[in-house]
Amino acid sequence: MVTTIQVSEKLLGALKQKKLYTKESYEEVIWDFVEDSQEVNKETRQEIEQARADIKAGKFYTHEQVKKRFGL
């Protein structure tokens, strides 16, 4: 079943800016938002929490440090 929805000019403008290519449909743009908002699994949440803790503890390398280390 196909249906139409009504959106404000402001929302339409925001959707237009989110298009990755000219012929991308608004349905594709909206599906991207839906997929992005899906809940991540428990393992991924734990990994994100660990990464945040590592950053707070200073356990990370900057881009410049990595480039210097590898001579880039």
DSSP letters, 36-70, are HTSPPPHHHHHHHHHHHHHHHTT----HHHHHHHT
Cβ neighbourhood burial of 41 (10 Å; 0-12, 13-18, 19+): exposed
Confidence band of 42 (pLDDT split at 50, 70, 90)? confident
Averaged pLDDT for residues 60-69? 95
Report the pLDDT value the prediction gives residue 25, as an integer from 0 to 100: 93
Q: Give the residue carrying structure tokens 């608004």.
A: 26
State the pLDDT at residue 44: 87
The pLDDT of residue 39 is above 80: no
Q: CA nearest 3: which of 24, 30, 37, 38?
A: 30
Is the pLDDT at 35 greater than 90? The verdict is: no
DSSP code of residue 71:
T
